[in-house]
Amino acid sequence: MPEEFKWRFDIFHVLSGIHSYRFEPSKTTPGSTRFVNSEEFLRLSNVLMRLMPVEKMFCQFSEQFKARVESVKESALMSEGAALFDFGRES
């Protein structure tokens, strides 16, 4: 499984940066995963992003992403359990 997704964006060679999502083993919750969302701003983006609430946007995205992943994981576990214990089905 990949541990990092990383890409560079450029808009007219003026706004650019390197964005990455990294997945690491959690040091605080064994068996869990830590999600790291990072951005390195380049050129004019570096100046513009200092004027915007970028850290707040990253935190909001990360919280929403965590909630979505956990809901999908729980849904998958419930579906798996339903398939294992579905005695009303006929073949």
| Predicted local confidence at residue 84, as pLDDT | 42
Distance CA 71, CA 38 (A): 23
How many Cβ atoms sit within 10 Å of the Cβ of residue 17?
17
| Predicted local confidence at residue 78, as pLDDT | 59
| Predicted local confidence at residue 80, as pLDDT | 53
Distance CA 40, CA 46 (A): 8
| Predicted local confidence at residue 81, as pLDDT | 52
pLDDT along the chain (91 residues), means of 10: 82 83 87 83 74 77 83 66 43 39
